[in-house]
Structure 1
């Protein structure tokens, strides 16, 4: 019988200690070694027999690998989280110090509370709940560079493939959209960002002497960018694909509030909100390089640049989608403007197969911990490491969960927080998951990840 209350104080203390370390991977002055060492110490103190810091990947940040070998006949579960965080940003926007955990109204505030140090603490709680001897094999991987797009993760997965191989992979880096309801993220959009440069003149020209016939680059760029959407706001780039429309919808009123849409401003696109943000491609103009208003003169601008972000729908290919975006921008250059496009970022979308006994065991565990059935949702964002794990371990069941983050977590923003009751339920669910997977393996003789002969 799992009593998560017995280990919750230790998990909470671990979370507080982790938040106090400003492990910002994007900062060259941050000492991520210190947060890796604390993470390793926490799992050693939990009686995990094999714990080490991985720091032998060229150019990589330190990661932690902790292993409880599988008992005979039992499957292995890989528990993933990351110890690096986003920068704090403008301190004036925080109600309390970003790297000093502060509890208010049932939430714990601080940078990394939700994204993703709660994930580390939840994995720790699951092991502590089994007194360091889980009924299945458990491998814990705590990465140190997720917030900078995990550039060396593929090399790590290749080098440590044998030690990371697992039957089930739990990636605790998502969120529940409704408090008290467990949600598995089953689709993720990919990304294909690009830089577009448009030139119309050899050099700047006087707007009075030459304006009216000579096209300036900024006006031309605006017209080009306007071709990315049709009159309804749907993406107009030819060749992009859409994924399966999700069963769970995202209520429009809630979406508008959470996206901070101003009153009276309409939403882009057609179809349900969930379809638009989880299953369809999306194009956004993220930045424009041009003369600032403060420095403007009556001069026709010869060159202008923009960064365009494409969210790639599940089921599409990010490389192909990025090429389609580049082709669209080149083909729609107004007035014969010279356009060059460079694709700068690629991350593949992903769709999770939720059939089979591993997911059935997970649904039972999370239902028991939360008191509500699991809901499958999508994510409009991208988690590039998911595709990396799926490629490295194609036969593993991949479970993308929340470790307490909800729709009010404000990850990456000021006043990031984790809902403490959700955190407790997540800890309980992970501990129960290990039990359920062991029971399934015992009842079935093995954890057969192929669903053909299985029914819950």
Structure 2
């Protein structure tokens, strides 16, 4: 028999201080994967999370993955709680690694001491993704013996490093991922008090572009004019990637509209404030701001080999390399988009310069099924937990393992949720999570699991 929303809310409230305490302990572990995914700090973090999950009935264990070259990989947490072999199975995902803290002086609080100020809990990993772990833990704690779906668990140890050993690990542990529903608690809400399902993620593809015009450096005064330096030619290439409106102009690189429709556009004033845009800047691109952030492509120069101003003198740069990061529409194959970009750049080399594009990494985007029964149940659960209608949103970033999971388990319904909100500062100084929002997220997931007991794959 299903629990009432009030029963679930009361159970979560009873356990809330303990849930926050565990999140504070997780923050203190300093599980920075950039310091080494196979390091002792990551093993300690994984063991702590496994112990947390054993407290709520999950047969959790720590397993070390292996990179494609066979070297030691991340410390992962996997586990299960089987209540009925005939019941639906839900895979709960989060990650226990966190971003580095390059300069603690930029924080208003100690980044590795959970600190509550008002309604927000500050600390590295408080939202990304300790908050996701707390949601899963709190959900299972609240449901207790009234859990009527089978649980599989995967808490990853290298998400912040791009999940290099994810595919080998999932291949070795395929049975531990097979599920009817997958809940990825690594995204966020429209606002601390307005819930969201993440409807889509853009793909990502990177490449290096090398531009050569001379076999050696020459004097800019003697030869400047008929010969353009490699940096200027590179700038011409970069400028050609966008049209006069600021939309990507590369043939074969596609755009699409927000998945499931647009319930509310992104607030421009809020985005300007959050990003620190200069007042004079006019936003690039056409269409809704949401589509430009979530489902239309973007191409960003993320690296450039150029002489620093302080070291400059009057020579013409003979050769330069810059790196592009292209975010692709959720529905486009990232490799297809990368090849379109490569072909365009190499075919349009300015003034016949030698231009070589070297493809690097690529990862697919993802879009949820907005019409599935699981999606409707999740939205209903959020509505009950928060007391307001959800406002769904896409994400401009990428989580490459989600499309990989979907590829391996095509019949599974994937839901992307999470504790972040526009004030969370994930990856930045003063990372935080809304305490009330985190509690409501936990109530929503518990309601959803309770309602999924009669789910059958469509």
Q: Please, what TM-score do these two structures have when normalized by structure 1?
A: 0.94
Deviations 1:118-158 (A, max 9, x none): 11111000111122662211112100010011111122222
Distance (Å, rounded) in 2 between the aligned partners of 1:124 and 1:193: 36
The answer as to 2:300 corresponding to 1:284 is yes
2:212 aligned to which of 199, 205, 208: 199
CA gap 1:9/1:295 in 2 versus in 1, 3 angstroms: same
Match of 2:262 in 1: 247
Structure 2: tracts of 5 or more residues without a match: 1-6
Q: Give the one of 134, 146, 160 matched to 2:147.
A: 134
Q: How do 1:300-315 residues align onto structure 2 when only pairs under 5 Å count?
A: 300-315=316-331
Instruction: Say yes or no: does 1:372 pair with 2:388.
Output: yes
CA contact (8 A) 2:197 2:392 kept: yes
Partner residue of 2:16? 8
Distance 2:276 2:341 in 1: 28
Give CA deviations for 1:4-38 in whole Å, capped at 9, x if unaligned: 11121221111101111111112236620010011
Task: Give structure 1 regions of 4+ aligned residues with deviation exceeding 3 angstroms.
Answer: 56-59
Name 1:316's counterpart in structure 2.
332
Distance 1:381 1:408 in 2: 17
1:8-407 to structure 2, matched below 5 A, reads 8-28=16-36, 31-48=41-58, 50-57=59-66, 58=70, 59-131=72-144, 134-245=147-258, 246-248=261-263, 249-402=265-418, 404-407=419-422
SS at match of 2:266: coil
Q: Give the deviation of 1:257 after TM superposition.
A: 2.0
3-state DSSP of counterpart to 2:48: helix
Q: Does 1:429 align with 2:439?
A: no
1:376: Cα distance to partner? 2.2
Question: For 1:161 and 1:83, how far apart are their aligned partners in 2?
Answer: 20
Native 8 Å contact 1:357 1:448 kept in 2: no
RMSD between superposed Cα atoms in Å = 1.4
Whole-Å Cα distance in 2 between the matches of residues 278 and 393 of structure 1? 25
Whole-angstrom distance in 1 between the partners of 2:20 and 2:367: 32
**8 Å Cα contact 2:190/2:392 also seen in 1:** no
What is the TM-score normalised by the length of structure 2? 0.93
Instruction: Please say if residues 24 and 30 of structure 1, whose CA atoms lie closer than 8 Å, have aligned partners that are also in contact.
Output: no
Query: Are the equivalent residues in 1 in contact too, given 2:197–2:379 (CA < 8 A)?
Result: no
User: Does the CA contact (< 8 Å) of 1:182 and 1:373 recur in 2?
Assistant: yes
Task: State whether residues 33 and 97 of structure 2, in contact with CA within 8 Å, keep that contact through their aligned partners in structure 1.
Answer: yes
Q: For residues 243-302 of structure 1, give each alpha carbon's deviation from its aligned partner in whole angstroms, at most 9, with x where no partner exists.
A: 234413112222222232111210011111011111211111112111111111111111
- The alpha carbon displacement at 1:179 in A equals 2.4
Kept in 1: contact 2:79–2:176 (CA 8 A) = no
3-state DSSP class of the match of 2:326? strand
- Determine if contact 2:200/2:368 at 8 Å carries over to the other structure: yes
When structure 1 is superposed on structure 2, of 203-212 and 130-139 the one drifting more is 130-139
Contact kept in structure 2, 1:186 and 1:377, CA below 8 Å: yes
- Matched with 2:3 is none
Cα deviation code 1:46-89 (max 9, x no counterpart): 233x1111115343201111211032431111110000011112
How many angstroms apart in 2 are the aligned matches of 1:99 and 1:304? 41
Tell whether the 8 Å contact from 1:356 to 1:449 is kept in structure 2 after alignment.
no
Tell whether the 8 Å contact from 2:65 to 2:74 is kept in structure 1 after alignment.
no
Contact 1:68/1:133 (8 A) holds in 2: no
Checking the alignment, whether the CA contact within 8 Å between 2:296 and 2:328 is kept in structure 1 is yes
